[in-house]
A and B are shown apart, each in its own frame.
Chain A
Amino acid sequence: MAKFRSLLLVTLLASLSTVIAESWKVQDINLIIAASGGNKKAEHKLEYPYAAQDLTADPTDVLKFSFKIDNKEKPHQAMVVFQSQDEFQDEIMVAASVKSSGKGRFDLSFNKADAKFKYGTRKYTMTFLVGGPKIDEPYKYTLGNIEIKGPSSNPATRPARLPYQAQPEIHHQFRADQKLINTAISGLFTFLVLTPFAILFILWSKLGIKFEPLQAMATKPFDLINAVIFFGSIAGIEFVFYSYWTHVTLFPVLQALGGLSVVAFISGRYVLSAVQTRRLQRTAGSAKKEL
Chain B
Amino acid sequence: MNDINAAVNSLVTAYIKDTPKSLKLIDSYMVYVLLTGIIQFVYVVIAGTFPNNAFLAGFISTVASFVLAANLRIQTNPKNASQFPTTSPERAFADFLACNVVVHFAVANFLG
What residues make up the interface of A, taking CB atoms closer than 8 Å to B? Answer: 178-181, 185-186, 189, 192-193, 195-197, 199-200, 203-204, 207-209, 234, 237-238, 241-242, 244-245, 257, 261, 264, 268, 272-273, 275-276, 279
Contact = CB atoms under 8 A, between A and B. Distances in A.
A193 B36 contact: yes
Given A189-B39, A199-B35, A244 B28 contact: no
Given A193-B36, A199-B32, A203-B31, A209 B89 contact: no
B104 A238 contact: yes
A174 to B, nearest CB: 17
A209 B111 contact: no
B18 interface: no
18 contacts: A180-B50, A186-B47, A189-B43, A189-B46, A192-B39, A193-B36, A193-B40, A193-B43, A200-B28, A203-B24, A203-B32, A207-B21, A207-B28, A241-B105, A244-B108, A257-B105, A268-B94, A268-B97
Contact of B35 (A196, A209, A261): A196
A189 B36 CA distance: 10
B28 A204 contact: yes
A204 B25 contact: yes
Given A273-B90, A276-B88, A185 B28 contact: no
A275 B51 CA distance: 43
Interface string B43-85: 1001110110000000000000000000000000000000000
Given A261-B101, A272-B90, A241 B108 contact: yes
Given A209-B25, A245-B108, A197 B32 contact: yes
B24 to A, nearest CB: 5
